[in-house]
Structure 1
Amino acid sequence: MKKCPNELWDAVSKDIIQTQGPLARPLTPIAPVELLISLANWVCLTQHESNYNTGAINHNTDGSTDYGIFQINSRWWCNNGLTPTSNACGIQCSELLTNDVSVAIKCAKRVVRDPNGIGAWVAWRRYCQNRDLSSYVAGCGL
């Protein structure tokens, strides 16, 4: 059985991510769009984006950089001081690189409010979309 990633589970237990299903722990919904995204989708996404590494940094061919556990992009979502940016999350990219994932989760929730939703992440489309994701939360006690 796969062990639940500690950073995400800690965030979930603090009512940051909304889960689905009758056995899910009671959490406070933040916005309607988050109700549609299960914890399993987030865990799958973060495994394939960063392997749960909060300090992950990856450089893209367009000159932008992806940061943290969700691999949030500097061109659209955060400011790294190098890439021209929309900074839609209103944060410094360095804030996404700590073990406290609350800023990263807040920004990820901002990303999913855009029209692409969780599909904004290539790794989610490639590895998680339309798949049985139950194994991703099997060790989380849900």
Structure 2
Amino acid sequence: LLHLFPSIYLGIEAKKGGGKYTRQELAIWLEDEAGNVDWETDWVCMAEHESNFNTQAFNGKNDNGSSDYGIFQINSKWWCKNNSSPSANACNTMCSRFLDDNISDDITCAKRVVKDPNGMSAWVAWVRHCRNKDLSRYLASCNL
């Protein structure tokens, strides 16, 4: 049933959890929105290390003056507009949209990021903690 209506279920759970998802909740969203099961474990690993699955995570302390937003810590220099620093705004959206509990737009932008030549390497946490690692434990208990 969750696979048929993940947005309804997860919208309720995210609000109850104060903007934090579980591994399973994020994996279900990714399966529904991203449509690429092969990337689920990479994205779950990356989100855990970037934001601890917190949709309201904000890091405004990057050396280049940029900030990172949301569950995937999407960067304002390249991917979204924040009105306080120059941006390529490749996802054509305001960064503040990545700070709410609806992660559909976050996933859409993250899909755009991985189409870039750097792919998942755009996320430092993915490079440090997930790339070329056995990620099977990330979804082992999820019953997907």
TM-score (norm 1): 0.81
For 1:12, the equivalent position in structure 2 comes to 30
User: In 2, are the aligned partners of 1:96 and 1:103 still within 8 Å (CA)?
Assistant: yes
> How has the CA–CA distance of structure 1 residues 64 and 94 changed in structure 2, closer, same or farther, with 3 Å as cutoff?
same
Gapped runs of 5+ residues in structure 1? 21-37
Q: Does 1:118 align with 2:136?
A: no
Alpha-carbon distance in structure 2 between the residues aligned to 1:13 and 1:115: 23
Q: Does 1:102 align with 2:104?
A: yes
Correspondent of 2:87 among 85, 108, 111:
85
Aligned length: 123
User: In 2, are the aligned partners of 1:50 and 1:56 still within 8 Å (CA)?
Assistant: yes
Gapped runs of 5+ residues in structure 2? 1-20
Higher relative contact order (CA 8 A, sep 6+): 1
TM-score (norm 2): 0.79
- The DSSP-based 3-state class of the residue aligned with 2:128 is helix
Cα shift at 1:103: 0.2
Matched residue type, 2:77: R
Q: Percent identity?
A: 51
- The DSSP-based 3-state class of the residue aligned with 1:85 is coil
Cα shift at 1:8: 1.2
**Structure with greater helix share of residues:** 2
When the two chains are superposed, the root-mean-square deviation of aligned CA atoms in Å is 1.7
